[in-house]
A and B are shown apart, each in its own frame.
Chain A
Amino acid sequence: MELKSSATLPERALHIALKVEGGKCQRGDGAGCAISSNSATTPGDMTERGCTYAGCRGVVGGPVKDAIQLTHGPIGCAFFSWGYRPHLADTDFHMKYTFVSDMNETNIVFGGEKKLLQSIIEASREFPEAKAVFVYNTCSTALIGDDGRDVAKQAEAIIGKSVVFFECEGFKGVSQSAGHHVGNETIFRQLVGSVEPEGDFSRTINIVGDYNIKNDIRTFEHLFEAIGLRIVTRFTGNVGVDDLKIMHKAALNVVHCQRSATYIADMMKEKYGTPYINVTLWGMKHMAQALRDTAAVFGLEAEAEVVIERELAKIKPKIDYFRQRLTGKKVFIYQGGPRTWHWIELLRELGMETQTAATTFGHEDDYEKIFEQLDEGGMMIDNPNVPEIEEILTRRRPDLFISGNKEKYLAYKLGVPFVNGHTYDTGPYAGFVGMVNFARDIDKAIHAPIWQTLHKKARPAPVAHHSSHGFAHGFEEGE
């Protein structure tokens, strides 16, 4: 299976695979092996990928609610990463404020260390209630050789609170995934274990790799509490600096996003012996399994069953209603990483089939999990670029596209129903009750009257006064 839109990019065939007869894998180049992933993007292929800074500042560090989020670099990195990702918390300092050392040309020539130090001091003076300063490095400040670690140390002595320096310059990796790794490592090294609280932590867990998008944690936290567990730290969603410092005290790490946060679970296992389990907190089967697996570690199986039964009973009639409306619909999921495989089962519970599954920065293990769950005929694609996405939407004609904000308007221009899986159209989507929201949004997207109107009433573009250049991105509809 080769995409026509990538006919001139032979290496892209290695990033595409089909599940063929007998559940075998057939890669785009005809080989029967797994697809390539986590490798450098083809220059100019119109990728959707972001940078290492984005993965660190935007995903892992950004949700920490009482830290000053300071970018060491030029203005743009700070402006664009400010306040759009809905990683909510019970306070909103982290959503409302962004800080930047605002490097100008002179700073680039003569070095930015002094300005960084002054920025940290000024920021902490303006917001004395903040618990720490998180400093994120960028391309330019890394290239000129600013020693941010040293500045952070000096600043810490002056302001008397933690200054955490993230070496997450944008060019460091092939995608934002490298930034998740930097974020995990830095928080682990600099914060985790720096405070030793008293108390009984025998029945406690950390939720690792959930970023509280649109308050996702409200859908499942109380369920863990209902089976008798206490949550110490959420890494990182609705979390404070002090919570991160005592993260090592929890008896178990419950790892949700297994791309962006397994790193810290591994490091905690090695250093503190904290065990971890992998869970999926979306969908009925997975959410129930997550509660069961977590409870089993603590011998609370019976309690878990009570909670599961109660919660499933609450949502079942609603899910049944949506399943009957959604059965047989085909879906193209394209998410950053694990959400793609987290949601295949959830969609199946709604009677839907995942026809195409793609990720921006998934690694080999993500694609193994995707492949395992796909039905025959299912397609898997790594780091798809704009023409490929357009070709999939046009040629494979899914009934629904689940992706993010950037891809949303492309889907709409092609008349394909769309649900925003990155930042959610409404949300939250996690847990049992969140699944009802998810199903409702999917139902709304697919059955909205606008699609009928569009396909009945839309007309071709009027002939422009200037020359036209053929049809979309080098392939033709219906081929």
Chain B
Amino acid sequence: MSCITTQERAVAINPTRSCAPIGAMLANYGIHGAITINHGSQGCATYPRHQMARHFREPVEVASTSLTEKTTVYGGKGNLLEAIKNIVDRFHPTMIMVCSTCLSETIGDDIPGTIDEFQEKNPDITIPILSVKTPSYIGNHTTGFDNFLREIANSLPDKRKKKGETNGKINIIPGWVNPGDIRELKHIVREMGLHGLWLTDYSETLDGGYYEPRPHFARGGTTVEELRSSSKSLATVAIQRYIGGEAAHIYERRYGVPAHVLTMPIGLANTDAFVDTLTEITDHQVPEVLSVERARLLDALVDTHMFTSGLRVALFGDPDTLEGLVGLIAEMGMVPAFVLTASESKPWAERMVELTQELGVESEIILKGDLHELHMRIKANPVDLLIGHSKGKFISDAEKIPLIRMGFPVEDRFGYHRRSIVGYNGATALVDEITNVVFERRASGVVSNTLIELGVEGPTSIPLIYKNGNGNGKN
């Protein structure tokens, strides 16, 4: 059976997580024409911008109220009022989201009150101005994203809804994924003959094209009008429990929109659950296209199982991604030896224990963990593969274990934000990538489409492999 451990150190060494404001900023990028004002020190806007630019390779614009020592003493209200005015005048946004920081929370600035005051003084400015609490000392980057969604669910949807009135759409909350993931989810929803209302959709705003002239706002994103009508949707499907799960329940409680909170659709069974949920909500059947994609994933799992079965894998990242990912890992016959997250959620860990038991695998579930902790585990009990974001490269380099890049940030490779890990197609691509990494690692032991396993003694002088010089295998 899997076990749960909690990291005990006070100091975090090489954390896997960042902080709340970046989550709210990312989510806000999924709304067409929305702009974020970060109420705090300039670094709290500039650092996340820089980090997002390194991951998405897109211009990322976030405003700051530029608090300094003086404003810290007298309060940042004046700066916030000025910032909102300046953003409205120069950018003409469709919506403004103000997220807080350690600084503005600790000095006790009343952001909602300041926004009310602004709106009273400027009755002609009618765009929504939202306030989201995101001090860095509470939770992590996922917390900011989740708080943003709760705020959207609470304050934007149209409350006047006639009985039985519907927009015919399904609210879908993708959570913290990549533009490529959202596009894959859209593909599934479209093939099902359904209309999704995306909370939120940064599939194009953060993976845009080159156009002349450059559009004022990046193309794409959910519109404010769509958000307003989200209370009239048929149902809400959240594919991450900790990002958007609560927002889905708010839709149910406040507007009577039924909530479906699922495991992230990574791998066959988890994608089936997503597709099944869509068929349950509507009476639409699974279309031919998806059936073929599903069969293709099964085919890929069969084709590769001789090379992946039994591999020990260490995973790190956000709870929702890990929960979905162990499904695929088990389907590939691999063992998720270490599953490490920065979260402290006991209920999540307990669910992971149950889940791994159902899947027939054994893991050590590490809560409140950092990458130094994972490194020490791997040193003591080596693994074949490491899966997580770019910061895993330091373990990968030191221990010569391949790193499958996934999650946020992937800053040392190109195009990962365009890939998908969800849906049948995402899983198939991941199965291929993992298998190829195994092959590449043992390149000198690969002959055509087979692998030569070493460590076999025989009464012959024939070398077991031909050194062709391009393998960096452990053998």
Point out residues on A near B: beta carbons under 8 Å: 5-6, 8-9, 40-54, 70, 73-84, 96-105, 107-108, 115, 118-120, 122-123, 126, 138-140, 143-144, 170-176, 386-387, 405-410, 412-415, 454-455, 458-462, 464, 466-474, 477
Given known A-B contacts A54-B47, A406-B53, A455-B212, A44 and B64 have beta carbons under 8 A apart: yes
Q: Is the CB of B318 closer than 8 A to any CB of chain A?
A: no
16 A-B residue pairings within 8 Å (CB atoms): A44-B82, A44-B84, A45-B86, A74-B137, A76-B22, A76-B141, A84-B411, A98-B15, A100-B11, A143-B106, A171-B40, A173-B68, A410-B59, A454-B210, A461-B219, A473-B91
Residue of A nearest to B87 (CB): A44
Given known A-B contacts A105-B138, A415-B212, A42 and B66 have beta carbons under 8 A apart: yes
Q: Is the CB of B102 within 8 A of A140?
A: yes
A104–B12 Cα gap in the complex (Å)?
A: 12
User: Which of A43, A80, A144, A405 gathers the greatest number of chain B CB atoms within 10 Å?
Assistant: A43
User: Which of B48, B215, B342 gathers the greatest number of chain A CB atoms within 10 Å?
Assistant: B215
Point out residues on B near A: beta carbons under 8 Å: 9-15, 17-22, 32-33, 37, 40-44, 46-51, 53-54, 57-72, 79-80, 82-87, 89-92, 94, 101-103, 106-107, 135-138, 140-141, 208-217, 219-221, 223, 225-226, 342, 372, 391, 394, 411
Given known A-B contacts A40-B66, A46-B61, A77 and B43 have beta carbons under 8 A apart: yes
Residue of A nearest to B16 (CB): A79
Q: Is the CB of A49 within 8 A of B42?
A: yes
A387–B91 Cα gap in the complex (Å)?
A: 9
Q: Is the CB of B48 within 8 A of A80?
A: yes
Q: Is the CB of B64 within 8 A of A77?
A: no
Q: Is the CB of A469 within 8 A of B92?
A: yes
A469 in complex: contacting residue of B14, B211, B216, CB < 8 Å: B216
Residue of B nearest to A173 (CB): B68
Which residues of A sit under 8 angstroms from B53, Cβ to Cβ?
Answer: 405-406, 408-409
Q: Is the CB of B91 within 8 A of A49?
A: no
Nearest-Cβ distance from residue B300 to partner chain A, whole angstroms: 34
A50–B48 Cα gap in the complex (Å)?
A: 11
Q: Is the CB of A47 within 8 A of B66?
A: yes
Q: Is the CB of B61 within 8 A of A41?
A: no
Which residues of B sit under 8 angstroms from A406, Cβ to Cβ?
Answer: 46, 49-50, 53, 59-60
Q: Is the CB of A40 within 8 A of B68?
A: yes
Q: Is the CB of B13 within 8 A of A126?
A: yes
Which residues of B sit under 8 angstroms from A108, Cβ to Cβ?
Answer: 102, 106, 137
A471–B85 Cα gap in the complex (Å)?
A: 19
Q: Is the CB of B102 within 8 A of A459?
A: no
Q: Is the CB of B66 within 8 A of A43?
A: yes
Q: Is the CB of B212 within 8 A of A107?
A: no
Residue of A nearest to B223 (CB): A466
User: Which of A101, A410, A466 gathers the greatest number of chain B CB atoms within 10 Å?
Assistant: A466
Residue of A nearest to B104 (CB): A139
Nearest-Cβ distance from residue A201 to partner chain B, whole angstroms: 38
Given known A-B contacts A405-B54, A458-B210, A53 and B43 have beta carbons under 8 A apart: yes
Q: Is the CB of A43 within 8 A of B213?
A: no
Q: Is the CB of A104 within 8 A of B41?
A: no
B216 in complex: contacting residue of A46, A73, A176, A471, CB < 8 Å: A471
Which residues of A sit under 8 angstroms from B10, Cβ to Cβ?
Answer: 101-102, 115, 118-119, 122
Which residues of A sit under 8 angstroms from B37, Cβ to Cβ?
Answer: 44
Residue of A nearest to B19 (CB): A76
Which residues of A sit under 8 angstroms from B62, Cβ to Cβ?
Answer: 46
Given known A-B contacts A171-B69, A469-B216, A50 and B137 have beta carbons under 8 A apart: no
Given known A-B contacts A79-B15, A409-B57, A466-B223, A96 and B394 have beta carbons under 8 A apart: yes
Further contacts, 14 of them, CB under 8 A, given A43-B66, A77-B47, A98-B15: A41-B64, A44-B64, A47-B66, A74-B136, A79-B18, A80-B18, A170-B103, A173-B69, A387-B90, A413-B214, A460-B213, A466-B221, A471-B216, A472-B215
Residue of A nearest to B80 (CB): A43
A44–B15 Cα gap in the complex (Å)?
A: 30
Which residues of B sit under 8 angstroms from A477, Cβ to Cβ?
Answer: 213
Q: Is the CB of A44 within 8 A of B11?
A: no
Q: Is the CB of A99 within 8 A of B44?
A: no
Given known A-B contacts A99-B12, A170-B44, A461-B215, A140 and B137 have beta carbons under 8 A apart: yes
A223–B98 Cα gap in the complex (Å)?
A: 52
User: Which of A6, A139, A408 gathers the greatest number of chain B CB atoms within 10 Å?
Assistant: A139
A410–B60 Cα gap in the complex (Å)?
A: 8
Nearest-Cβ distance from residue B258 to partner chain A, whole angstroms: 26
A81–B12 Cα gap in the complex (Å)?
A: 14
Which residues of A sit under 8 angstroms from B83, Cβ to Cβ?
Answer: 43-44
A139 in complex: contacting residue of B102, B140, B214, CB < 8 Å: B102
A317–B39 Cα gap in the complex (Å)?
A: 53
Nearest-Cβ distance from residue B114 to partner chain A, whole angstroms: 12
Which residues of B sit under 8 angstroms from A455, Cβ to Cβ?
Answer: 212
Residue of B nearest to A144 (CB): B106
Q: Is the CB of A75 within 8 A of B19?
A: yes
Q: Is the CB of B12 within 8 A of A41?
A: no
Q: Is the CB of A51 within 8 A of B41?
A: yes
Residue of B nearest to A42 (CB): B86
Q: Is the CB of A8 within 8 A of B90?
A: yes
Which residues of B sit under 8 angstroms from A97, Cβ to Cβ?
Answer: 13-14, 372, 394
B33 in complex: contacting residue of A173, A175, A461, A469, CB < 8 Å: A469
Nearest-Cβ distance from residue B390 to partner chain A, whole angstroms: 9
Residue of B nearest to A9 (CB): B86
A460 in complex: contacting residue of B92, B212, B225, CB < 8 Å: B212
Q: Is the CB of B61 within 8 A of A405?
A: no
Given known A-B contacts A49-B46, A466-B32, A469-B33, A123 and B211 have beta carbons under 8 A apart: no
B41 in complex: contacting residue of A96, A139, A412, CB < 8 Å: A139
Q: Is the CB of A47 within 8 A of B64?
A: yes
Residue of B nearest to A101 (CB): B11
Nearest-Cβ distance from residue A99 to partner chain B, whole angstroms: 5
Which residues of A sit under 8 angstroms from B214, Cβ to Cβ?
Answer: 413-414, 472
Residue of A nearest to B63 (CB): A44
User: Which of A9, A96, A455 gathers the greatest number of chain B CB atoms within 10 Å?
Assistant: A96
Nearest-Cβ distance from residue B12 to partner chain A, whole angstroms: 4
A80–B19 Cα gap in the complex (Å)?
A: 9
Residue of B nearest to A386 (CB): B61
Residue of A nearest to B9 (CB): A122
A5 in complex: contacting residue of B46, B47, B64, B90, CB < 8 Å: B90
Q: Is the CB of A51 within 8 A of B46?
A: yes
Given known A-B contacts A41-B66, A460-B211, A473-B216, A104 and B61 have beta carbons under 8 A apart: no
User: Which of B14, B66, B80, B103 gathers the greatest number of chain A CB atoms within 10 Å?
Assistant: B66
B59 in complex: contacting residue of A51, A172, A413, A461, CB < 8 Å: A413
A139–B9 Cα gap in the complex (Å)?
A: 23
Q: Is the CB of A83 within 8 A of B391?
A: yes
Q: Is the CB of B67 within 8 A of A44?
A: no
Nearest-Cβ distance from residue A362 to partner chain B, whole angstroms: 16
Which residues of A sit under 8 angstroms from B32, Cβ to Cβ?
Answer: 464, 466
The 7 closest A-B pairs by CB, nearest first: A76-B19, A44-B83, A51-B43, A170-B41, A74-B136, A80-B47, A119-B11
Residue of A nearest to B13 (CB): A99
Nearest-Cβ distance from residue B54 to partner chain A, whole angstroms: 7
User: Which of B9, B13, B208, B211 gathers the greatest number of chain A CB atoms within 10 Å?
Assistant: B13
Which residues of A sit under 8 angstroms from B49, Cβ to Cβ?
Answer: 406
Residue of A nearest to B33 (CB): A469
Q: Is the CB of A139 within 8 A of B106?
A: yes
Q: Is the CB of B11 within 8 A of A99?
A: yes
A462–B140 Cα gap in the complex (Å)?
A: 37
A461–B205 Cα gap in the complex (Å)?
A: 13
A80–B141 Cα gap in the complex (Å)?
A: 12
A138–B107 Cα gap in the complex (Å)?
A: 14
Q: Is the CB of B13 within 8 A of A77?
A: no
Nearest-Cβ distance from residue A400 to partner chain B, whole angstroms: 18
Given known A-B contacts A46-B63, A170-B43, A472-B214, A105 and B137 have beta carbons under 8 A apart: yes
